[in-house]
Chain A
Amino acid sequence: MNTMRITFLGLVCSVLMVPAAFAGTLDTVKSQGFFNCGVSQGVPGFSNPDENGNWSGIDVDVCRAVSAAIFGDPDKVKYVPLTAKERFTALQAGEIDVLSRNTTWTLSRDAQIGLEFAGVNFYDGQGFMVRTDSGITSAMELDGASVCTNLGTTTELNMADFFRANGMAYEPVVFEKADEVVNAYDEGRCDTYTTDKSGLAAQRTKLADPDAHVVLPETISKEPLGPVVREGDGDWADVVRWSLNAMIEAEEFGLTQSNAKTECALTSNPVVARLCGKEGGTGAGLNLGESWSYDIVTMVGNYGDVYEKHVGENTPVGLARAGSPNASYKDGGVLYAPPAR
């Protein structure tokens, strides 16, 4: 009986003493040699797998930049495709370490559901796509329309707001996965398909006849999209935030993927020298190596490189950067990075 009692007490103690807290994400990531990055299930230009399962896109490049900063290698990332519905739970539960999946920064997400936004890598807004032959030219003509969209997004709330504010009726048709939305819209279930305009441009490439569809001019919301981490781990949030900022600042100072090597050797500009990891000691503050920002620029590229490669005018997504909020503040956009010093 005694031995049984001791075993029992031991069991009780061991159960009660299991720690609820976790070691810092950065330390864990460094020791395991990779981290998990939550991405979409395929949005061309943002996060999309090719036929070999290699992911690419501007959201993917945020994770690659973080990987380059930590490991000096952009490919120490495991990508976890998630639906919009799953993404926050996956992050909260620790299944992923960074969520980089065109996620809109809102107050309720920041304050209520245990998320911390690490910045904005794409300024977007919600729009509507319709068939060209419907003859619709403005979102204000959509009274009574059936609207296809997907679940778990700010989109659902924005369209409710938009139709309510303008006294119009509509029928929401809400799917769990983006591919089913595209299919159903293509089959004519809906008069219009709504999501972020970048998403419309990306999904349009998946339609049977992309040229038969047009995105309406109205933008009905602000959608600042960016990478997200768990709340309560400031060190890890800093790494993600500054990896993104370094990409933006590198562009502001003309440091590109192709010229970084020569620029860094020649430069006399102290800002560029800091970005090149030659002075300033910025890496120590982030618990990273001194070449972290140099690695990002040479291995992944600056913001402009990444933008033009994945969503710029010469890509199938074809989103012009000039004149959009995503241009650098120097060119009249709102992209502006705090100084990396």
Chain B
Amino acid sequence: METERSKLGSFLFNRSVQGVFYQLITLGLVALGIYYIVTNTARNMLERGLASGFHFLGVESQFDIGMTLIEYSPTSTYFDSFIVGLLNTLLVAGIGILFATIIGFTVGIMRLSSNWLIAKIAEAYVEILRNIPLLLQIFFWYFAVLRALPKPKQSLEIYDSFFLNNRGLFIPDTVFGEGSSIIFYLLWLTIIISIGIFIWAKRRQNRTGERFPAFYVSTALILGTFFISLAATGFPVSFEYPELKGFNFKGGIKLIPELVALTFALAMYTASFIAEVVRGGIMAVSKGQTEAAKSVGLKQNLILRLIIIPQALRVIVPPLTNQYLNLTKNSSLAAAIAYPDLVLVFAGTALMQTGQAIEIIGMVMGVYLFLSLFTSLIMNLFNRFMKVDGER
């Protein structure tokens, strides 16, 4: 009897048992909270006569969207409008990330320049852009762009094929005719061969120490094959030029000013943060590395490319991921300047027409969560790839 009780006691007062117990209670409370929120919401929605469920996704949307990457008309469904918004968000985030990275790395390296003027210009860029709220910058670029550009009839033009006015930038579209598929097969083939050349060159250098100009050779191979195959098939490529018809240009590819202003603002703003990340990363590489590289006789650009950047990247990549995520999420400010992104189209117009706020906001939150996690995943993989072998 006595031992029984002490056994039970020691079980109850065991730290790990208590730990599990409290975790179960917390889990139970969270589950209960979620259950309560869901049922209470459902009941209130029913009481107030709010429609619920996802069948609205299959209904005709009846509204139009200014910029679509897929076929879309008012007879398309709400689900189509979701896809249109999603693609527009991905487009602006993708281009934004590309330009933010290029500008950010450039400015970051400029800030470390020994040239006083260049370093100060970079510093001014960073301090001005990262300290002004992004929404203001978006408005500034949008209205600055609109004000500076002429009306469609007074468009700026280059060779009668590129037109710029306050409705956007119009560029010729390439139309590939019959027999052009062979060109693309060859293009892919040469790209694969080029990758092979790079791997072979790397291996050979590791083995023998001899360098092979893999970049020039593969560029020549790809471009050469492309133009030769183009000539051999008799140029099955034509261009569709934009033409002024009525109010506006028709034909060709159109970049609307909202896209330009938004991408520009997002890239410039995020680049100011990336510049600081890059500067920090480079400064984290100890000076001894540069000195050692110099002492073995490497040239300045090779020191940067082979010694500094690879080591700096390990410091840069994690905070860089953060900036990419921020840019993607900040792209939802598009609604302010009429760029038809996911928030404007789906969490805006579609939400208003259907009134199904919970479903739609849920979907939009899910998309941003997925995009963020996906970006994180890619960057984590990249980071693992950049890690020095043998490092913890």
Residues of A at under 8 Å CB distance from B? 1, 8, 11-12, 15-16, 18, 20-21, 84-85, 88-89, 92, 108-109, 111-114, 142-146, 148, 151-153, 156-157, 159-161, 163-164, 170-177, 180, 183-184, 187-189, 191, 230-232
Contacts and interface: CB of A to CB of B under 8 A. Distances in A.
Interface string B109-143: 00000000000000000000000000000000001
B65 interface: yes
**Main secondary structure on chain B at its contact with chain A?**
helix
A109 B43 contact: no
Contacts of A156: 63-64, 349, 353
**Main secondary structure on chain A at its contact with chain B?**
mixed
Contact of A188 (B66, B166, B352): B166
B340 interface: yes
Given A160-B64, A232-B49, A180 B166 contact: no
Contact of A183 (B48, B143, B250): B143
B51 A113 contact: yes
B28 to A, nearest CB: 8
Interface residues of B, number: 48
Contact of B143 (A159, A160, A177, A187): A187
Contacts of B248: 144-146, 171
A241 to B, nearest CB: 18
B250 A109 contact: no
A177 B337 CA distance: 9
B247 interface: yes
Nearest to A106: B353
Contacts of A189: 146, 166-167, 257
A166 B323 CA distance: 47
A15 B36 contact: yes
Contact of B355 (A112, A170, A232): A112
Nearest to A93: B357
Interface string B148-172: 0001000000000000001100000
A231 B340 CA distance: 32
Contacts of A88: 352, 355
Contact of B336 (A84, A180, A230): A180
Contacts of B45: 114
Nearest to B22: A4
B25 interface: yes
20 contacts: A8-B25, A11-B29, A15-B32, A20-B43, A20-B47, A84-B352, A92-B50, A112-B50, A145-B246, A146-B248, A151-B348, A160-B62, A163-B64, A171-B167, A171-B248, A172-B63, A174-B338, A175-B338, A187-B146, A232-B49
Interface of B: 12, 25, 29, 32-33, 36, 40, 43-45, 47-51, 62-66, 74, 143, 146-147, 151, 166-167, 245-248, 250, 257-258, 335-338, 340, 344, 348-349, 351-355, 357
A84 B348 CA distance: 10
B64 A172 contact: yes
B66 A171 contact: yes
A174 B247 contact: no
Contacts of A160: 62-64, 74
